[in-house]
Amino acid sequence: GENVEQHPSTLSVQEGDSAVIKCTYSDSASNYFPWYKQELGKRPQLIIDIRSNVGEKKDQRIAVTLNKTAKHFSLHITETQPEDSAVYFCAATVGGGGNKLTFGTGTQLKVEL
Amino acid sequence: GAGVSQSPRYKVAKRGQDVALRCDPISGHVSLFWYQQALGQGPEFLTYFQNEAQLDKSGLPSDRFFAERPEGSVSTLKIQRTQQEDSAVYLCASSPNGGGDSTDTQYFGPGTRLTVL
């Protein structure tokens, strides 16, 4: 089955700096790659996603890039703010009967003042 | 509109007890998923429903875990004879479509934190 690796596990940046989180996946059939933000004790919330027919997608301060040849995708957050502090999960899905997501192990992002 | 809701939010069970966790998906959503999230880990897939049909239960860790969605809306995850290793947050997610639409966004509920003593 699909395997998703994510790094780093923790990331500390100064407010206003950029943050980059990287993920790799194993199944070349995967075609949908969402990123979720999860604050402590809260539900995972989708922040951005990318489908395999595009290489990059941007939404304000957040961008995701996808390299299908290398089977990796990355989350980029620019001009980080304290409210960006949370755990971020990447995920991938092969699809088929239902699009069950395989998640990475998460990145704890801390934005320091 | 209303998002995915789950109840109870917290459940403490003694080892060996049975528990039932409820998920109310977004109204009209065809697909419903259950995930298990251990402390400090990403969610792991348990099972998937398309309407009332359970099409994938490959992630259920043992035959003590059972899920149902009899009318294609509310779902219940039941764990029999709970063990300490069952302690985790159980997340429910729903998405609008079914039929193997692999790019459908999944919307998560707040989860039920199960603690087995």
pLDDT per residue over A51-76, tens digit each?
887 899 999 999 999 999 999 999 99
A52-68 burial string, b = 16+ CB within 10 Å, else e?
beeeeeeeeebbbbbee
B43:A101 CB<8 A:
yes
Instruction: Report the alpha-carbon distance of residue B16 to residue B94 in Å, rounded.
Output: 30
Instruction: Average the pLDDT over each of A29-33, B46-50, B87-91 and give the range with the smallest value.
Output: A29-33
Average pLDDT over residues A3-31: 96
Instruction: Report the alpha-carbon distance of residue A71 to residue A74 in Å, rounded.
Output: 11
Residue A36: predicted pLDDT = 98
Nearest to A43 among B56, B95, B110 (CB): B110
Quick one: pLDDT band at residue B75, thresholds 50, 70, 90? very high
Return the percentage of chain A with pLDDT > 90, whole number.
83
Is there a contact between B89 and B111 (Cβ–Cβ < 8 Å)?
Answer: yes
Residues of A in contact with B45 (CB under 8 A): 100-102
* B70 interfaces chain A, CB cutoff of 8 Å: no
Residue A99: predicted pLDDT = 82
Looking at the predicted structure, is the pLDDT value of residue A97 above 60? no
B60 versus B101: the higher-pLDDT residue is B60
B100:A31 CB<8 A:
no
Quick one: pLDDT band at residue A96, thresholds 50, 70, 90? low
For residue B84, the SS3 value is helix
* A49 interfaces chain B, CB cutoff of 8 Å: yes
Residue A87: predicted pLDDT = 98
